[in-house]
Amino acid sequence: LLPLPLRPYSSHLLNFRSYRFNPYYRTKSKLPLTSATFSHKVNPQQVICRFHLTGTCNDGDCRWQHLADAMFTGEEVYQDLLSYHLPLVGVTDTTDPAKCQQAIGMFCTSLFVL
pLDDT digits over 34-51, tens only?
Answer: 888 888 899 989 999 999
Of 50, 44, 51, 106, the closest CA to residue 70 belongs to: 44
Report the predicted TM-score, pTM, of the whole model to 2 decimal places. Answer: 0.68
30 phi/psi in degrees, rounded to 5 = 55, 45
SS3 content of the chain, % helix, strand, coil (to 5): 45, 5, 50
- Identify which has the larger pLDDT, 52 or 4: 52
Give the type of residue at 102: Q
Check whether 100 has a pLDDT greater than 80: yes
